[in-house]
Amino acid sequence: MPIASPTPSYPEAVLPRTAVGVGLKPSHIAALLDDPGPVRWVEVHAENYMQDGGPLHRALEAVRREHPLSVHGVGLSLGGAHDLDTAHLARLAGVVARYEPALVSEHLAWCGVPGAFLNDLLPVPCTTEALDIVARHVDQTQAALGRPILVENPSRYFAFRIQDMDEPAFLSALVRRTGCGLLLDLNNVVVSARNLGFDPSAYVAALPLEAVGEIHLAGHAVRVVDGVEIRIDDHGSAVGDAVLALYAETLRRTGPRPTLVERDTDIPPWPDLAAEAGRVATVMTQVLAARPDPV
C-alpha cells in the first residue's frame, strides 16, 4: 500500500534545465544543508524511502524543503516478463505523493521473478515482444503515479543474439507508444559502447533527444579479464574524460538538461563531490555559451 504518512508542504518542485545535482547520500545531508555550493538539486533511490517513517525520512524532509528532488527507482522491473509487483508500485506511488519530486525515473531492466528479487539491473532484449511488455509496464506505472516517467538506458556487457531493433530504436518506439521521457545516462552509453563495440556518438544521435528530461554522469571501472578489457558501471570514481566529452557533444545537440553526478561506491567527502558538480556545471556553461542559439 502507499505510504500513509501525511505529506509535508513543500515548495514547488522546479528543476531548471541548467541545474546540476548529485545523488544524495545520508553522510552528506548535513553538509548539503549547510553549504550546497554549486549543487542545485538531489536525487534519491525510491526503495530507500518505502518505509513509513524513521531518520531517513526526517532527513529527506529537511532536504526537500530546501532543494528540488528527483526520485529514481531501481526495483520496479519494467523489463520483466511477469506482471509488475503492484505492492512495489504502490509503495513507489506513496514516495512520489509524499515528496512531490520534479522528476521520477526507472530503468530499462528487469530485476526479479515472482517470489525472488535479484539485486541487479538485468538487460532487456530489443525485440518487439519485449517492447510490448515494457510499454505495458510503463503505461501501468504512469497511470499509478499520475505523471510521465523517465526511462533510463542500461549498461550492457554482452549483446543478445536475437534482436529486432537496436537500443535507440527500442527507446524511440517506447517514447512514441507511452509518452514517457528518457533519462540519458551517458556513462552507461560509454560503458556499453566500449563493451559492445559501437559508436557512442551515433547512439546518442539516434535517440529522440527532445524526450530527454535528465542526464546522468558517473565514473566507471576498467578491468581486464582473460585479455579482454571490460568497462564496469560501478559509480566509484569521478566522471571520466570520455563521458565528459560525450556530455559536451550531447548538450550541443539538446541544449541544457538537468544533470546528475552519481557516486555510489567509494563515496568522497562532500566538498569533493560538490566540486565535481561544479566542474560539470562549468562544462554546461561553456557549451551553452558556444552554441549558435545560446540558452
List, for residues 142-187, the tens digit of each pLDDT value: 999 999 999 999 999 888 899 999 999 999 999 999 999 999 999 9
pLDDT on residue 121: 80
**DSSP state letter for 294:** -
In terms of Cβ atoms closer than 10 Å to its own Cβ (0-12, 13-18, 19+), residue 197 is exposed
Three-class SS state of 167: helix
Three-class SS state of 281: helix
Mention every residue, 6+ apart, whose C-beta is less than 8 A from residue 44: 23, 24, 60, 69, 70, 71, 72
Cα dihedral 239, 241, 245, 251 in deg (nearest 10): 20
- Distance, in Å, from the CA atom of 145 to the CA atom of 122, rounded to the nearest integer, reads 24
Mean pLDDT (the chain, rounded): 92
Least confident among 117-126, 189-198, 245-254: 117-126
- Distance, in Å, from the CA atom of 148 to the CA atom of 179, rounded to the nearest integer, reads 7
CATH 3.20.20.150 for domain 20-290, yes or no, is yes
The string of pLDDT tens digits covering residues 50-108 is 999 899 999 999 999 999 999 999 999 999 999 999 999 999 999 999 999 999 999 99
Count of beta carbons in the 10 Å neighbourhood of residue 178: 20
In terms of Cβ atoms closer than 10 Å to its own Cβ (0-12, 13-18, 19+), residue 193 is buried
- Distance, in Å, from the CA atom of 187 to the CA atom of 233, rounded to the nearest integer, reads 8
Average pLDDT rounded to a whole number, residues 200-212: 98
The string of pLDDT tens digits covering residues 11-36 is 888 899 999 999 999 999 999 999 99
- Distance, in Å, from the CA atom of 41 to the CA atom of 22, rounded to the nearest integer, reads 7
Mention every residue, 6+ apart, whose C-beta is less than 8 A from residue 100: 7, 10, 13, 64, 69
Q: Where are the alpha helices (DSSP H) in the chain?
A: 29-34, 55-66, 86-99, 128-145, 167-178, 186-196, 200-205, 241-254, 270-290
Average pLDDT rounded to a whole number, residues 130-144: 98
**Within a 13 Å sphere around the CA of 183, how many CA atoms are in the beta-carbon half?**
28
Considering only CA atoms, which of 218, 236, 220 is closest in space to residue 152? 218
Cα dihedral 63, 274, 154, 157 in deg (nearest 10): -140
